[in-house]
Amino acid sequence: MKILEDSRDLIYTDWTLSEANFDPEHLAARETVFTIGNGCLGTRGSFEEGFPEALPATLIHGVYDDVPVIYTELANCPDWLSLMISVDGERFRLDRGEILHYERQLDLHHGLLSRSVRWRSPTGKTLDLKFERFASLDDHHVLGLCCQITPIDFSGTIEVQSSLNGYPDTQGFNHWEQIDSGQIEQGTGRGVWLQVRTRRSHIDLSMAFKLAVIGADASFQVTNARGDSTVLSVFSAIAGQTISIEKVATVFTSQDVEIPLQAAQDKLANLPAYRVLLDAHRRAWDAVWEHSDIEIEGDRTAQLAVRYNIFQLLISASSHNDRVSVPAKTLSGFGYRGHIFWDTEIFILPFFTFTQPAIARNLLTYRYHTLEGARRKAAHSGYKGAMFAWESATTGDEVTPQTSISTDPYAEVVRIWCRDREIHLSADIALAVWHYWQATGDDNWLRDYGAEIILDTALFWMSRLEWHAEQERYELCGVIGADEYHERVNNNAFTNRMVQWHLEKAIAVYDWLQQTFPDRATALAQELQLTAEQRRLWQTMIDKLYIPHDAETGLIEQFEGFFKLQDIDLSKYEPRDRSMQAILGIDATNQRQVLKQPDVLMLLYLMRDTQALPDYCNVLQKNWDYYAPRTDSTYGSSLTPAIHASLAANLGDVEEAYKHLMQAAMVDLDDNRGNTIDGIHGASAGGVWQAVVFGFGGIQLKDSGPVATPHLPPTWTRLKFKLNWRGTWHCFDLVPSQAHATDAHATDIQGFIFDLDGVLTDTAEFHYRAWQKLADEEHLPFNRKANEALRGVARRKSLMLIVGDRPYSEAQIQEMMERKNRYYVASIQSITPQNLLPGAIALLDELRQAGMKIAIGSASKNAKAVIEKLGIAAHVDAIADGYSVDRPKPAPDIFLYAATQLGLAPAHCVVVEDAPVGVAAAIAAGMGSIGIGSPSRVGAANLVLPNLIGVHLTELQTKLDHRALKV
């Protein structure tokens, strides 16, 4: 395979995510990133023609099956995407021939994935292909795929082969047995159908599709080899002619209808044309975004990232099935085997509660339908009531593996204690039930479903709490809190307070039922064997439940004895690419004050709207200062950054909040944990929505409705979203406060002016060698230390510093400058984009996408040549070089010239420099300044950074705000 263009990262607009080049190393992760879905199913972004090492998958809610003895998992369903194209016998594949052009784009607004490829076959035939696919949001049983084929420099025979793969692989296991298959003739097209059944859960699934060729006379042939039903179409095409291949598929399971095969065939027979289906799909997405969108102005990266995470939530939850929920990795990958965790209720559900309450109701009703499994788990563990499974599938029975599964034959077996000890889930679900009721006022659902969930799980707590007579208190021992780095601890504050809250609400719900629906209260009391004495005991447990807390410091102790553990300074382990548990080991981590994810802080986040902590902000600040530095936020849990973002925003630390928000929002787009291959981080996606709404939007939930106290990042000029509160839509259109706007000079920044050498690239070595050669020829003393004084200095002044007091005529000086320049120009011929300094291109891309104007302000007269060789000319709006002005730095002329070329006032520009004379020139020009290098050299700048690695626009804005620009 030969790729003719340089690889670039993903490109963002407000609504689209584009991959400009194909990089096989990113194949599997990008399959996750480009997943499409409709809330019923998800199809990973695998190529229609296939690729070695690809992981194609279509996952359907509720289609679970067992891997014997080991685990229950979502079964990979038959692959409907397959579309193989051959030109005169040469098969189109991206690992063969040449890729002359490639772009893949996900349109978030309309749930449409497209790809355009110009491909030259090994024998020199050039072909344009344009693919698009969608999983219909209008009709969840319909899938659509179109491919436009255009021969560029040949005429010949094209063969298209499309299949239904009845034996898809689920990480080494085939869950399906084929029942039957057959062919369909419809109009000018041809199709096939397939009927399969899961091996142990006995779920029937049927798919059918028809293939049509538009723009050519095509012949069709159908084969039904066992497990692979295929339609083969052959036609002739001439150069420049575009032929469209349209494939429409239907899918039903026995969880949808009694006879899936008949339903799939009937649906297919009555479907309208492909474009009609696509239009209906687009309209459905328009309607969904009407209430679910978040608009961010001033920060395109954040805008796209937030919308991307919302899109992933929307395609992962069912609007019509209340017996399924959202798996931790959504329907986009095999991670966690498609199991449901607390992620859904705590992280994902709030988005649906406030924007799509009917879906939130379905997700919670799933928990009602799994109560019997929760009761079986409680009874198996020796308790009463209902104890929800840590990992759940169809029935609600525990499906967490007892031990970790490793491919290393010598690895030690690790016991997974979460299934037995991480019991806070039952209180988490009760919290979600209560919040749904408060937000929607859905009394009927609470009466029929929610009350039973809250009351039966309260009975579990009644049997799980332990009375310690000596201390005269109730305790919970041998548990795992939200943190998870510390196993089998006593009196975890998160768990104990959540249980206390749960029991408080159980009393409130039971009293409400007796007053509002007395018959239902009586029926539930009989069904659950709930007595007045038990209700009184709940109040005693509430009053006597121990929650570790240090009254002197205001700190909540994560669990009993946590403060006695060995302290840790996480900065001493940086840089790293693994979790602290992977570095230290399980036992050593257990003995240290290091957290996998927020525990006490998570508790404070969930309790933010309660009245239990009247001095909430002070308590939050003290506990934030203690626990945030001890939390492994980079490689611990992906659940951490979004919660930290929301809390930091509430505390007014917008810079810290934004950093965590983008870490969460980009977790899959950047694959910053290296595990996007396993599927979308669903909880993080839900947390991103919460961080924007509850953190930056500052939404507080009052009885009268939601109220906003915004904490917007400096670059966000507007934040808009809608929330549904008790049947009424509340529209929020938030802008920075007037005080914030006048105090924050950085929000006026509209352009950046970069020095070249030492900032975007390092040609200092080329300059040094040229000067050194000249000095040697002239027998002038010169070395690397002397070269440091030339940083940012124009050519003539540099030469005069080298010459010193030695007498030279003007003609000799001119000749030496020209000679040095010849040496330099000859040496820079080898410059390539590889000579860009780390972080440079990423920052330029981000500035460009944010609409910032960009200029180069370099004293070098060779700046334009260097810019071309670096490949950044397209990123630059203006160039001010040694030819542009007469007075060199530290005079401000070069930067003032650049600002004029950009059409900006100096006060709206920031200069990025690595030399003292450059910083001085920026200050003299009345511009903000960012110094790159050591403070001893560029300390006069408004902001000093060691380099551009990991630097983001909003971070620059915020830091410049905090430092009050010296202009």
Structure tokens at 429: 């679900």
Which residues, in sequence order, are bridge partners of residue 247? 145, 211
Alpha helices in 585-705 (DSSP H): 586-590, 600-606, 616-627, 640-650, 654-665, 682-690
d(CA 586, CA 222): 56
The answer to whether 197 and 206 have CB atoms below 8 angstroms apart is no
Backbone angles phi, psi at 530, to 5 degrees: -95, 125
d(CA 697, CA 691): 8
Q: How far apart are the first and last CA of the chain?
A: 54
Q: How many CB atoms lie within 10 A of CB 770?
A: 21
* Alpha-carbon torsion (933, 936, 941, 942), positive or negative: positive
Catalytic annotation on 470?
no
Query: Given 246, 345, 484, 846, which residue is catalytic?
Result: 484
d(CA 380, CA 911): 67
Amino acid at position 718, single letter: R
The answer to whether 437 and 517 have CB atoms below 8 angstroms apart is no
> Would you call 280 helix, strand, or coil by DSSP?
helix
Contacts of 532 (CB under 8 A, 6+ apart): none
Pairing of strands 853-857, 751-754: parallel
187 conformational bin, left if phi > 0, alpha if psi -120 to 50, beta if neither = left
- CB burial class (10 A; 0-12, 13-18, 19+) of residue 507? middle
Please report, for residues 321, 756, 819, the alpha-carbon distance to residue 922 in angstroms, rounded to integers and kept in the order given.
Answer: 61, 15, 31
Contacts of 581 (CB under 8 A, 6+ apart): 485, 589, 596, 632, 636
d(CA 243, CA 260): 33
The answer to whether 14 and 303 have CB atoms below 8 angstroms apart is yes
* Alpha-carbon torsion (502, 503, 504, 507), positive or negative: positive
* Helix axis angle, 532-544 to 493-516, nearest 10°: 150
Structure tokens at 851: 């609409």
Q: Which residues have a catalytic role annotated?
A: 484
